[in-house]
Structure 1
Amino acid sequence: MLIWLQQKLGLRTNPTIFFVSAILTVAFVAISILFTDTVDATFKALSEFITTNLGWTYIFGVTSFLVFLIWIACGRYRHVRLGGKDSRPEYGNVTWFGMLFAAGIGTILMFWGVAEPINHYANPPQSGIQPEVLEGLSAEEIAQVEVPSGAAAPLSNAAGEEAMGFTLYHFGLHTWAIFALPALAFAYFAYRRKLPFRVSSIFQPLLGDRINGPIGKIIDITAVLGTLFGVAVSIGLGTLQINSGLGALFGIEQGRTAQVVIIAVVTVVAVISVALGLDKGIKRLSNINIGLAVALLVFVLIAGSTVYLLRGVIETVGTYLTHLVPLSFWNDAFSGDNWGWQGGWTVFYWAWTITWAPFVGIFIARISKGRTIREFVIGVLGAPVAFSIVWFSVFGMSAMRIESGDPGKLVEPVVQDGDTAGALFAFLDSFPATEFVMAVAVLIVVVFFTTSSDSASLVIDMLCSGREWNPPTRQRVFWAVLQGVVAATLIAATGREALDALSQVITVLGLPFFVIAFLMMFCLVKALREDVTDEELLPSPRKLRSKEVPVIKSSANEDSEVLT
């Protein structure tokens, strides 16, 4: 039946993975509309249960991924090349680093660059203050809130240092370990064992030919659903941020109608980019957008307290290194059963990020053929993390300096009023050429989220088909539309609370991904032991670097866009 339907629609994909994933997603949308309260209650209960009883596995799991990657980059397999001992990188280092920078971090930087540091500055995570204690208080009153001995007081210098430590913990090495682990596994099994770009392929050492059976399909369907919902969360966050920017510029009211319209526009642009091809439009626009984001960073650095920020960037590196190990294992055990802060921040981040892992992982794998495992790990963990440190240092420390000079300027709208999405625009209001800079920021956010939607549709389709580099346009259009439908349905059904509901869904969906990730480490090591010869354990002799060549010499190259 499914094969007949596939042929009738002119699709080139695995019919079981494609149609089951689509049916489950459509069913979720329909049930969410018809039984909103029941769905919310169910996922809320599951999310609270997972956070309370299994939240520690999320913290331990991501730290384990990071330790594993460092071990494999330093261990006996460090010289093994992804693609065989005679393969060489298809992209030079500079190009490769640039593409890694673009791989999925643009949306994160724009949304959280101001929002997270200022939140933690007002309510230090380790102060033990419950959020409800701060409700209704002015910035001056927040600064006077008593904290336990040794804890950082709100809006103090110690709170600022803690804020930067936690922010970079969330968006530094740990986040990129979540992306790097599946990317390394995808690259190894696709280039070494010539298996399809599916999550199930990674489990061949454990399942053998059963990766083509029901178990393998269940794994792949889970990956498709997780990626789809992970992107929907980002579309939802981007929608709120765009709505806030348009409100600041043109007075457009923030609400369901405006947000659904924004999602529709983003989806339409993504669909158009699918139809036109990336090299002719959105890919070039994406590259320009990365330049605009860097220009915004330089503008804040120059227009702000430049010397203070340059000093701050250096100091933040030390702050991050100081907090890295303790936070990697911090589970707030002394707070008893209260997981309020860590459940709402760290556990959600890790669950959300790991649902993006197949999306970003496949892209990284596709541009990393020929790299040694050591080169791969150092590059994937090093380049994006270094840029993230600079970005969060400049925006985060600028935000805290603005708040200290004008109490309430950022804390009251962002923390007290809960307008996290509007944090960037409240921040830019303190800089010259305000309206122009805000307009540029809105444009950057729109393009980042549009290209993310378009790129995700390609990756989701690849997770279904396995080998299709240039699938029929209608398949990618379908996934691009479905992403928008999921985000729009939840926003239309429950308004601003829709993102909270989707966050709960992500926390639940993230759990099987952590189980899958632990098995990935086992399967990768098992495959290395089976495949690698003694000769490959030695460093390759130096050769003249060949000129860069494109990854794919076909029209499919139009689909190898930079994920932003």
Structure 2
Amino acid sequence: MTNEHEELLPEELAPEESVYETDYTTGQDNIEVLGLDIHNPVFFASAALILSFAGSVLLFPDSAGGVLTHARDWTLQHFDWFFVLATNVIFLFCLFIGISRFGDIRLGGPDAKPDFGVLSWLSMLFSAGVGIGLVFYGAAEPTAYYTDWFGTPLDVAARTPEAERLAFSATIFHWGVTPWAVYAVMGLSLAFFTFNKGLPLTIRSAFYPLLGERVWGWPGHLIDLLAVVATIFGLATSLGLGAKQAASGLHFLFGVDNGLGTQIVLIAGITSMAIFSVVRGLDGGVKLLSNINIVIAILLLLFVIVAGPTLAIFKGFGLNAVAYAMDSFRLSNWIGRDDTEWFHGWTIFYWAWWISWSPFVGMFIARVSRGRTIREFLIAVMGVPVMVAIVWFTAFGMTAIDQVKDGVGVLPAGITEVSLVLFQMLENLPFHQISSFVAIVLLIVFFVTSSDSGSLVIDSITAGGKLHAPVPQRIFWATMEGLIAIVLLVGGGSAALSSLQAGAITAGLPFTVVLLACCVSLLRGLREELTG
């Protein structure tokens, strides 16, 4: 199914359209099977690895969980400095690119026009990147830091004015410009080499200046394979966890059984909606749902601001922005920390998690950003999220912390389950049943947009970088995500999902090197673009 926006995107990029001297033809290794346009080594290898891993977890959930948890702990213990240093370097690199003359380069060439309006573009960026996280942790993360649920930032005393300030500055730090720079550098690399250099929209293309023609051989196959595996397991894990948390919300609100049966029904429903969305494509599917998401999110945000401590929230916008700017340096420092447990459990966990998701979100950002200048791209991808984070976390976090300080509801006794904090906070506001139901709907729709955008990304990689692979192939990957999530829930339960989370964190370590290499490769390409 083709629509007017998809027609604006470049179709199969022929070799003569590439400025590089390469004999690579998009889809040269592709074969057609049952209506699928398959990139031979990447598709079959990724499918085999995914199914093999799922089977191993089902058969030996405890062993798999132990191995991956040990790998995660080892990574956090020995490479915390590397994660912090790398993310800071990536942020400074993006800042340099944005303010330099490279920022004037337009993705797609001087005459390229944006494929989507600003609002739709920003909506898709957030739906694919952080929408789920904002709903999950909007109230929970500041409250957890303030009440010492799992340590406090910089080891300050809990439930003090300093703890409240750091609760917001640390939360915004975890969702601000530094992590979004991780997405930005991957997304910008892919967009530039695809739309300006005529290479396929696949992860390997970002490494052409470094690997040359070898990106079309097994080094490139391996890069794409790792991206596919990381993406589909990350999505399946989030889908499974999201189903468990949505079931908890329905149980909290309506008394619905939150057992395995409800979770499977939720996954099946989310997967069905994702399939419908990917069949309709970007304009009729992801764009439509993303716009719906933004409207619902804004309505819920406005409700919390009006129903919560309105004056304190408005004051908090400015105070928290200043605190974020003042505390970011201390929060970025890994030397001589007194809060090692909190630092590893939160900051390093977040950095590794963002990095492990960068292939998926970065490619999707690239997919929808043709026609934007690099400066416009970086301002949107890095600047806008921090403003949204300040507003969102201040509104939800301030409301929850205000209830803790006033002894209202159950939160003053401490957090029992992170996924319930939002509903426990809304319970003490007017029309709590309506607002809680809206939050559940928002959560589910965010999962749908993450699933369908992820499916489009995997679809592109496994089709050798094609932007318009057959519809059955889109359906295959969307279905695969849902089936893997169900199988893991049935066979391994929370232990299997925790193992996949640990795997995603561990995967962040090699992808950190990949991102640093992207910076070098992108700089070479940009210099070549300006020098002709």
TM over 0.5: yes
Identity percentage of aligned residues: 39
- 8 A contact 1:119–1:411 mirrored in 2: no
Q: Residue 399 in 1 paired to residue 403 in 2? A: no
Amino acid at match of 2:388: F
Q: Residue 249 in 1 paired to residue 253 in 2? A: yes
2:391 aligns with: 390
- 8 A contact 1:271–1:454 mirrored in 2: yes
1:539 aligns with: none
- 8 A contact 1:124–1:162 mirrored in 2: no
Q: Give the match's secondary structure for 2:33.
A: helix
Q: 1:448 aligns with which of 421, 446, 449?
A: 446
Amino acid at match of 2:204: S
Deviations 1:361-419, CA, capped at 9 Å, x for gaps: 22322333333322221222112221121001100111100111116722546x2x2x1
1:56 aligns with: 81
Q: How does 1:351-430 map to 2 (within 5 A)?
A: 351-406=352-407, 409-410=410-411, 412=413, 415=415, 417=416, 419-430=417-428
Mapped to 2, the partners of 1:125 and 1:174 lie a distance apart of 23
- 8 A contact 1:47–1:505 mirrored in 2: yes
Q: How does 1:9-408 map to 2 (within 5 A)?
A: 9-91=34-116, 93=118, 96-123=121-148, 127=152, 152-275=156-279, 283-328=287-332, 330-331=333-334, 333-335=336-338, 339-406=340-407
Mapped to 2, the partners of 1:451 and 1:97 lie a distance apart of 13
1:473 aligns with: 471
Q: How does 1:540-559 map to 2 (within 5 A)?
A: none
What runs of 5+ residues in structure 1 fail to find an aligned partner?
129-149, 535-564
Deviations 1:435-484, CA, capped at 9 Å, x for gaps: 11111111111111012111211111112224422322221122112222
Question: Residues 96 and 283 (structure 1 numbering): CA distance in 2 closer, same or farther, change over 3 Å?
Answer: closer
1:501 aligns with: 499
Question: Residues 88 and 263 (structure 1 numbering): CA distance in 2 closer, same or farther, change over 3 Å?
Answer: closer
Comparing 7-16 with 454-463, greater Cα deviation is found at: 7-16
Mapped to 2, the partners of 1:272 and 1:164 lie a distance apart of 38
Mapped to 2, the partners of 1:151 and 1:341 lie a distance apart of 8
1:558 aligns with: none
Comparing 319-328 with 210-219, greater Cα deviation is found at: 319-328
Comparing 205-214 with 355-364, greater Cα deviation is found at: 355-364
Amino acid at match of 2:507: L
Give TM-score scaled by structure 1 length.
0.84
RMSD: 2.5
Mapped to 2, the partners of 1:265 and 1:100 lie a distance apart of 23
Question: Residues 281 and 223 (structure 1 numbering): CA distance in 2 closer, same or farther, change over 3 Å?
Answer: closer
Amino acid at match of 2:75: I
Amino acid at match of 1:176: W
Amino acid at match of 2:514: I
Number of residues of Structure 1 aligned to a counterpart in Structure 2: 506
Question: Residues 59 and 408 (structure 1 numbering): CA distance in 2 closer, same or farther, change over 3 Å?
Answer: farther
Q: Give the match's secondary structure for 2:37.
A: coil
Mapped to 2, the partners of 1:177 and 1:278 lie a distance apart of 24
Comparing 232-241 with 428-437, greater Cα deviation is found at: 232-241
Mapped to 2, the partners of 1:408 and 1:499 lie a distance apart of 31
Mapped to 2, the partners of 1:433 and 1:469 lie a distance apart of 45
Q: Give the match's secondary structure for 2:139.
A: helix
Question: Residues 126 and 428 (structure 1 numbering): CA distance in 2 closer, same or farther, change over 3 Å?
Answer: closer
Amino acid at match of 1:300: V
Mapped to 1, the partners of 2:344 and 2:350 lie a distance apart of 9
Q: Give the match's secondary structure for 2:104.
A: coil
Question: Residues 77 and 273 (structure 1 numbering): CA distance in 2 closer, same or farther, change over 3 Å?
Answer: closer
Question: Residues 312 and 506 (structure 1 numbering): CA distance in 2 closer, same or farther, change over 3 Å?
Answer: same
Q: Residue 532 in 1 paired to residue 530 in 2? A: yes
Mapped to 2, the partners of 1:278 and 1:40 lie a distance apart of 36
- 8 A contact 1:175–1:350 mirrored in 2: yes
- 8 A contact 1:237–1:421 mirrored in 2: no
Amino acid at match of 1:52: Q
1:540 aligns with: none
1:433 aligns with: 431
Amino acid at match of 1:69: C
Q: Give the match's secondary structure for 1:13.
A: strand
Mapped to 1, the partners of 2:284 and 2:376 lie a distance apart of 32
Q: Give the match's secondary structure for 2:79.
A: helix
Residue 282 of structure 1 and its aligned partner are, at CA, apart by: 6.7
- 8 A contact 1:230–1:352 mirrored in 2: no
